[in-house]
Structure 1
Amino acid sequence: MIRKLAKKKHMLLVAAVIGTSACGQADAADSIQTRDVVVTASRTEQEVKETPAAVEVITQEDIEKMGAENLAQALQLATGINVLENGMVGNQSSLRGMNTNQTLILIDGRRVRTENTSETQNYYELQRVNMDRVERIEIVRGAVSSLYGSEALGGVINIITKKPGTQGGTVSADWTSRQKDAGFRYDLGKNGKWAWALNGKVSDIRRRMSGASSNQYGKKYFFGLDGRMDVADNKQLDFFADFLDEDLYMIDSAAAGTDYDHRRASTGLKYSGKDKQGDYEMQVYYTYFDKDQRTRNRNTHVLTSFDDMTFNSYVADGRRTFNLGDQHILTVGGEYRQEDYESTRIKKGNASTITREGITNNISKVTMNHGALYLQDEFMATDKWLLIPSVRWDHNNDFGDEVTGKLGTTYKFSKNARFKANVGSAYRAPTASELYFNWQHTPTAIMTVNIQGNPDLKPEKSLNFDLGLEAEHGNTSGKFTYFHNKVDDLINLNTTITRAMVPGAGIRITANGRYENVDKATVQGLELEARQKLGKFFTLRSTYTYLDARDDSTNAFLTGRARHKTSLQLMYADTQHGWDATLWNDWLTGYHYTESSTAKETGESIMNLVVNKKFNKTVSAYFGISNLTNRKNDVLYYDGRIWRGGVKVNF
């Protein structure tokens, strides 16, 4: 039975990939939609209905309907995820009320080397992917440290890219009232055993003012090369090389501005295949990430401060799946990761010095090594009952050994109704920045910011469970999930702000922050989703998340989170004439934040519209309005209506 199930999973995934490459025009009866397949939740191919985890798949067709030129837009309709803007820079990417740095972002299963403080980790990544190369996005809500290790307390976002093989390509142009983008992907087709594909994107971000400061504006450049070699039947060698260059500027105040020059290069190889026993893959990849930031007086252009940060990441991982008898699929895997971080913002041991234009900074280097082994069993106890236990051992050179485990189960009451449950443990090791930060910054003429790391930090640990019911009946479907996450030693930046009157200089503001462990926190809530087909053309979908996130020692609600998030979505699809439209309204209420040491709440109602037209198999265009009613909220960073549109040409 399991061997047949494994074969069925493989055929379903192949059919799904083929179905989504047909420009979204194929009839549903002729192709299986990728929406029904997920590989992230268990590291093996599973149907969404079968896997115990709470998962959601955003297909290439969904991305095109949304006119999404970045990941933040592609994730807007997803359940249980927060993609609010983070001030004037980037977006959050937090799942189920956990912090943004507790979401693990992957590209084709590879870890993304990004900034590594709790204030910056993942904030920029939703703007750093060329959407022309994305095939689908898999979201797993809930802790999956038993398979992916650290950073996966809240869940995983895995971006699956298109694989080279069929000659052709895509050219796209997008325009919004905030930025403009031009991108492409060109598949050279197969030449002998090799197939190659190129992709690139240029983004030009406009300046937006907020008081005396602005957002980061300027240009971003992306370039990628993907290759696939057919080594033998059912055996492939994949190659990739990606490059990112960000040339940005930000007005900090009337007197100061900062240049942000960021460069990231990644490359790697993966060997994968299938045989009678199961499937396997082994990969190695390397990432170099350099951040060079310089602050100058806007009038004299004299350098006032600078920061250099360089990351080098080396990763090797692999897994092997065995079909054991008629009831078990066993997966074993491992990972080794070395991360080198050299920065003027950290201090450890004997720091060296670096000088720029007469200003001298200390610079330190930290190396962190990670090793892991994991084991998973997909046990089909009966035709209706699936059990998936998994366990992972992680070793960190600073924090020693950690074992995490998970047990997930799906029980099918009938073909169209099922119960799902998961219970497990998770952890996140502190980053080098959180341990050794030593940074003083003067963003304005009257303000000084001091942030200190804490070498005594403990890893964050959690015990979590969720219970869910799912059902479909005709044109109606629904999901209900309760989740509960108990977190120990939650890492938090404890910040105090003081104001002092300096004779002859006026008011001076000092912000002092230090990373600390919060003893205990509980994050729990409900997720609801309902979908109703309305006639031939319309579908109504609604999602709701209730969140109760508290510091157990004070019973205070954790800031940066909303108690209620509701979305009502009306979708129109006329495939015969190539029209798609989505009108949706998001309600955010009970959003907790702190202002002048006082706990406060806010909320907002935001309406959005996007219309997509496919003129033929080659040309499509979209038009959209975000924040249709022109709402503004300084806390949630809504600053008015955003117009957007774009054109895509397939060839």
Structure 2
Amino acid sequence: MMKGKALRLAIFAGLLGSTASVLSTHAMTETESVTVLNPVVVTAQRFETKDLNTPAAVTVLDQADLKNSGAKSIFDAVGQSTGITTFSYGPFGLEYGAMDSRVNIRGLERSALVLVNGAPINLDGKNSLNGLMMDNVDRIEIVRGAGSAQYGSEALGGVVNVITKSPTKAHATIETRIGNEGYKKYAATVGTDTIEISTSKEYYGAQERTSPDRSDRYYYNMRDKGYAHNVAVNIKPHDYVRVNYMRQQSDSTYGQMSTLTEAIIKNNKKFKGKDPLKESKQYHYRDIKNNASIIYDDATTRAMVFFNNRKLVGESRDLKTLTFNQNDSNYAAYKVGAEAQHTWKLHKGKDTAVLGFMGAHESYEGISVKNSVVRAHRNVAAVYGSYEFQVTPMFSTTIGGRYQVIDDPAKDQHVFTPQWQTMYKLDDSRSIYTNIGKAFTMPNLHDVYRWATDPKKKMEPQYVKLSGDNLKPEEGWNYEVGYKQVNAKDSWRVSVYHMKFKNFFDWAPNPVDGRNTLRINGGKFLNTGVEVEYKSHITDDLMMTIGGSYSNPRKQPTKSTVWEQSAPKVELNLALDYEKDKWQAGMVASWWGKRLLNRDGQYNPDYINVNAHVNYSPNDSQTIGFYVNNLLNRHNVITHGAYEYWDSPRNYYVNYSYHF
């Protein structure tokens, strides 16, 4: 095992070294450097700044980055970024019904607040990127570090802002993909200078196994074929106004296939009388997600109204009776809100002030017979602001904060989250920053209702309202210092951080039946780490990005003095992008090391994933491409600790697009 790991590391290191060794003395133009190596960022400060002048750790994925990633989904593309370790129950972020895939920043579980054009789309504590149409994305901005001073609850580790395309000119595109593993995609886009409409239907095939045998419960997981249908509409009725809408309807089927044998049933009291066919179950889900916003933005005043919702309907059956029954956990959730902010340039443009207000209503409702009593709602009102002082021509400092009043079904909250940042320009190409901020997150709405059984058996099992006394938000601080350098042909970004959080949500025995279903505050979380990213135009035709992080994410469970590892400690990413004449090719490699123990007492294997592709454009209208994902055909474990879930084996597809 050690020899195999050493060989893999040697290959990875050799690949990085051989790539770096071909660096040339070619210098990029200033325009190319600004747009690629020093992009404009709007998410971190809530107004436009160049990355070099932004006092936060930022990654911007533009359309070229997304294409070069070879990713089939936004989830996969974000997961290739430095400091991100995604958690998924299926390939390219597929979810297992209500068990959502999620984005974890800096080793912190469910730590990312996901925005679409600046509007929050997290629902019931889940930050799923499914339902967002990759073909409709202009760029993605990832800001690492506590983000609650700017964006409120759930931005514990940072913010992922998905910014959609804006109509530009009359055009049309058709695209088709056909691959192995049952994968197909058909897509079309048509637009003018005021409206653009995109639609796609994506199919994926069955996967015989998505997990090993569950040794304690005698089953393994599988996935049947499914599809996702997406629609996106972008309207630009005025230079300052944008209307955006995205919808996804997906259909998926999963299974838990029993591995019980006659010997196990005979010798284990727990399974006596069980029928393996009846223990084998299938779960079918139809998932509908919508998000929409109307945005006014004239560079100084920005206002929006936003809406997003999800309706998850599932049913299950065993393989003996083959009769589908309604899932108890079916639900509908939505969030609606409005926000307005204004930006002032003061003292001849040296200082910048931001003041904003936000109000939102969030709802969760059970829509099955058994959970129909579950009705939870939350109202939020917030005021936020920041002031950037230009102390000297080379030094600035920003003080900001957000005050939120939260009407919550468990316990009302008044939360203030401050932030303090500094930026020192060493010269026109180098800067040092510090970023100290507090962040928090509220409990999931549905956590106040739990399934309970009457110990005296006088009533049927049912959902009851349960919440711990004095339930507080999870909260804590992020401390960070960073260095940025942008030259004509390359750039460096280095950040060192320390995270300290408390009041993590846990479970305790409830007074109804004594089961651990009462939501309480409990554990703690610590992480100290370093992130490094290097981007270089090696030649006119070849660009390279290398990123890596090393950290020590730890959690301390409730009533415990022992600290446990909570996420992978090591992460490396490599991306190569080659473009010349009619050809474009790319490769992205990711490695997560020093992983967690799973429930079977074994360490999750190193995650090593390589995607590669090549595109040929015979003319301006057509592009033919060949894409390969999981090139090394590894049994990659795409969860952390606990039960294993696997990525797809090696898969590939041919892509053809025609642009009118």
Q: Please report the TM-score for the alignment, with normalisation by the length of structure 2.
A: 0.79
Provide, for residues 189-233 of structure 1, a one-character-per-residue CA deviation record: whole Å limited to 9, x for no partner: 3xxxxx222121211121112265322641211123222222xxx
CA contact (8 A) 2:439 2:477 kept: yes
* AA in 2 matched with 1:224: A
Displacement, 1:389? 1.5
- Partner Cα distance (1:556, 1:176) in 2: 45
2:572 corresponds in structure 1 to 566
Aligned to 2:263: none
The aligned residue for residue 482 of structure 1 is 496
Q: 1:404 to 1:29 in 2, by over 3 A?
A: closer
CA offsets, 1:213-270, max 9 Å, x none? 322641211123222222xxxx633223333212222223353212212223344422
Aligned AA (2:591): W
Q: Which amino acid aligns with 1:608?
A: N
Deviation at 1:591, TM superposition (A): 0.6
Residue among 412, 417, 432 paired with 1:419: 432
1:212-611 alignment runs, 5 A limit: 212-215=220-223, 217-230=225-238, 236-253=240-257, 255-274=280-299, 279-307=300-328, 308-326=330-348, 327-343=350-366, 355=369, 361-398=371-408, 399-438=412-451, 454-456=467-469, 457-473=471-487, 475-492=489-506, 515-552=519-556, 554-559=561-566, 561-569=567-575, 571-575=576-580, 577-596=581-600, 598=601, 600=603, 602-611=605-614
Q: What is the deviation of 1:437?
A: 3.7
Show the counterpart of 2:104.
94
Structure 2 CA distance for aligned equivalents of residues 249 and 84 of structure 1: 19
Q: Matches of 2:582 and 2:518 in 1, distance apart?
A: 55
Determine the C-alpha separation between the residues in 2 that align with 1:361 and 1:315. 26
Q: Number of aligned pairs?
A: 567
- Aligned partner of 2:641 in structure 1 is none
When residues 166 and 584 of structure 1 are mapped into structure 2, their CA distance, relative to the original with a 3 A threshold, is closer
**Contact between 1:176 and 1:642, CA under 8 Å: does it hold in 2?**
yes
SS in 2 for 1:270: strand
- TM-superposed CA distance for 1:611, in Å, is 2.1
Distance 1:631 1:44, change over 3 A: same
- CA distance in structure 1 between the partners assigned to 2:508 and 2:626 by the alignment: 43
In the TM superposition, 1:92-131 aligns within 5 A as: 92-100=102-110, 102-114=111-123, 116=124, 121-123=126-128, 125=129, 127-131=130-134
Distance across 2 between alignment mates of 1:609 and 1:451: 51
One-letter code aligned to 1:289: R
The code of the aligned residue for 2:483 comes to L
Letter aligned with residue 259 of structure 1? H
The 8 Å contact of residues 285 and 312 in structure 2, kept in 1 or not, is answered as yes
**2:626–2:653 Cα contact (<8 Å) kept:** yes
Q: Partner of 1:562: helix, strand, or coil?
A: coil
Aligned pair 1:197/2:196, yes or no? yes
CA distances 1:526-555 after superposition (whole Å, capped 9, x unpaired): 101223443443344321111211125534
Could you list the per-position Cα deviations for residues 144-180 of structure 1 after superposition, in whole angstroms to 9, with x for gaps in the alignment? 1001000101111111111124111332223443432
Contact 1:80 1:545 in 2 (8 A): yes
How far is the alpha carbon of 1:64 from its aligned partner? 2.1
C-alpha separation between the residues in 1 aligned to 2:399 and 2:119? 23
Q: Distance in 2 between matches of 1:28 and 1:300?
A: 68
Q: What pairs up with 1:144-159 in 2 under 5 angstroms?
A: 144-159=147-162
Q: What is residue 69 of structure 1 aligned with on the other side?
A: 72
Structure 1: unaligned runs, 5 residues or longer? 1-25, 190-194, 345-353, 441-447, 496-510
CA distance in structure 2 between the partners assigned to 1:28 and 1:71 by the alignment: 30
Deviation of residue 648 (structure 1)? 2.8
Normalized per residue, the structure richer in strand is 1
Q: CA deviation at 1:417?
A: 1.6
Determine helix, strand or coil for the equivalent of 1:602: coil
SS at match of 2:166: coil
Higher RCO (Cα < 8 Å, 6 or more apart): 2
CA contact (8 A) 2:496 2:530 kept: yes
Distance change >3 Å, CA 87–CA 186, structure 1 → 2: closer
Instruction: State the Cα distance separating 1:612 from its structure 2 match.
Output: 2.9
Aligned counterparts of 1:535 and 1:223: Cα–Cα separation in 2? 39
Paired letter, 2:579 = D
Helix, strand or coil: the match of 2:596? Answer: strand
The answer to whether the Cα contact below 8 Å between 1:86 and 1:92 also exists between their aligned partners in 2 is: no
User: 1-side partners of 2:247 and 2:355: how far apart?
Assistant: 32
1:180 to 179, 184, 188: 184
Once the two structures are TM-superposed, the CA of residue 599 in structure 1 deviates from its matched residue by: 7.3
What is the alpha-carbon root mean square deviation over aligned residues? Answer: 3.0
Contact 2:468/2:518, CA 8 A, preserved across alignment = no
**Structure 2 letter corresponding to 1:148:** Y
SS at match of 1:632: coil
Q: CA deviation at 1:524?
A: 1.7
Tell which deviates more after alignment, 579-588 or 517-526. Answer: 579-588
Aligned residue among 29, 32, 35 for 1:33: 35
Amino acid at match of 2:86: V
Residue 207 (structure 2) aligns with: 208
Counterparts of 1:573 and 1:362, CA distance in 2: 55
Contact 2:550 2:570 in 1 (8 A): yes
Deviation of residue 60 (structure 1)? Answer: 0.9
1:171–1:454: structure 2 CA closer, same or farther, 3 Å change rule? farther
2:135 counterpart SS class: helix
CA distance in 2, matches of 1:451, 1:593: 34
The amino acid of 2:77's aligned partner reads: A
Equivalent residues of 2:447, 2:467 under 8 A apart: yes
- For residue 411 of structure 1, report the CA deviation from its aligned partner: 0.8
**Structure 2 vs 1, CA of residues 614 and 49 (structure 1 numbering), >3 Å: closer, same or farther?**
farther
1:68 partner amino acid: A
Please state if 1:640 is matched with 2:649.
yes
- Counterpart of 2:35, as a letter, is Q
Shift of 1:605: 3.3
Q: Residue type matched to 2:493 in 1?
A: K
- How far, CA to CA, are the matches of 1:395 and 1:433 in structure 2? 20
User: Is the contact made by 2:355 and 2:385 (CA closer than 8 Å) also made in structure 1?
Assistant: yes
Report sequence identity in percent. Answer: 22
